[in-house]
Structure 1
Amino acid sequence: MAEQVHGSTVSSDVHSPSVLEPEQRAALVFVLVLLVFLGLLMVRCFRILLDPYRSMPSSTWTDYTEKYTFDYRIS
């Protein structure tokens, strides 16, 4: 009798695992976009950590030195 129960367990409404529902596809695309965005942010942060002065605009520190260099020229 146990053999008959195991033999009749095949049902017709079993979904194939390769077919995704539209909600699952949308969630998967959203997660992939978030992962790409996170990866880009991580790369940018590591680049800033490795060379912090490259990301700083040069006008913020060159204006400072030029202003005080001009004061030295006057005196």
Structure 2
Amino acid sequence: MTQDLLSTSPLVPAAGSSIATVTLEQKATFVLVFFLFAFLGLLIIRCFRILLDPYRSMSSSAWTDYMEKDALDYRMA
């Protein structure tokens, strides 16, 4: 009686069947998750690079604009 219950259980594969069967949906999900983790890793690396050297990613015109303005106007703004 116990052997009949174990042999018909969906968790126990039948003799001769493959144990690891992955459906197309599972493969697509794994690929999508892999690309999401890769994208997240690239964003984390980019953020750390900006934190370590913030002026490298900024254009030179952005931090030299104050030179063109009057010093008094720049302090008031």
Determine what percentage of the aligned residue pairs are the same residue: 51
Report how many aligned residue pairs link the two structures. Answer: 65
Q: Which residue of 1 aligns with 2:48?
A: 46
Q: Return structure 1 stretches of 4+ with deviation > 6 angstroms.
A: none
Q: What amino acid sits opposite 1:22 in the alignment?
A: L
Q: How many angstroms does 1:68 deviate by?
A: 4.5
Q: Bigger radius of gyration, 1 or 2?
A: 1
Per the normalisation by structure 1, the TM-score is 0.67
Stretches of structure 1 that go unaligned for 5 or more consecutive residues are: 70-75
Give the RMSD, CA atoms, in angstroms. 2.9
Q: How many angstroms does 1:11 deviate by?
A: 2.2
Which residue of the other structure, out of 11, 19, 27, is the alignment partner of 2:14? Answer: 11
Per the normalisation by structure 2, the TM-score is 0.65
